[in-house]
Structure 1
């Protein structure tokens, strides 16, 4: 059992620890503390009432700071008692040094310059976190595929553009004509988006695809095949 612990950022021991270390009955240690407080009310701040459990039952004890321990241990005599006193005092000093060191690491700014430096550090860390979040959001947005609604819109616009092209030039809606037109426009969409199928188009490319469909014209080879088919059918 550690003889010194921290409580409310203060190094303390307990009446239970003292009784075990110095070989005294706990009830006698409690009586000594109560006598000290009765004789000097100012010493009340050196002791804080607490409790511990043993065999399922709760018992009273006291938390004791360094000053309280000094008063309490005055009546403990003998060579062994002196060794224990020194052990407690060293443990108190070590714990207080650790608490002080931790406090220095977490202390608040003491001057406008320190406050400004802390503000800049916090702002820099916050900006870095926000930047990382924005990058993650942008990456997510850029890799999201188009939803079913957008997919259907593209399909309707592709069909509308193909059939309007054929109608404007009085080409019949034969399977050969429509298939060559759909193949041509879909090939263009795949080229500008870098995907193999329209279902893999990303949301960020939706507007680009719609603009391409609106400006689409069949490739020269596709137009020549239409003319060739029309001429062959006219013979």
Structure 2
């Protein structure tokens, strides 16, 4: 879905989305979306299934989890909060309760995103993992086969690179931003609490510009190395430095 926020992503072989993404797209409070999911969990799986240690945080449909508990790191306060990941079935179940013309449009966008990702996966042939099968494949190789494998690898690399950062990498970026801002303030003898917001805004703006995203949460795997290098050499823009000097002059 070119030009749009990535609504779905591949996790453990399933096309999924999150409660936060749903809340953002549908213009709802994330807490309200979590409340709706919790209500569905009680209706479908029952509290016992939800709290069973063997299936904690999961409601299953034919052995496939449709709702799974996760956590994420908040971009601003860096605290850990709850979110729920869901597959297509989980989303469909949740979205049944969303009404209105705009809600219908958003549902259609999601359905299209799920279908496109699933179609992409179906169209990709599976490469053998058994060593013997791999040898046979190599023995049967031709120039055309090599080209096709090369094309497939490029597709897989592109798909992987376009996935949004996982929670561990995103947390690493967040901590690196905080550390760099504090370092700059200390080296330049600035009041960290006073200038923290301006410096952080400047660095995040440069990160988004380099990665070609609107918000840092949209960073992709392929942006990780570039962003970490940028953070390591970052200095504020002239406009930000001027603003900091003005702030220092304020009584």
Give the TM interval when normalised to the shorter protein.
0.3 to 0.5
TM-score (norm 1): 0.46
Rg (Cα) greater in structure:
1
Q: Which structure has greater helix proportion?
A: 1
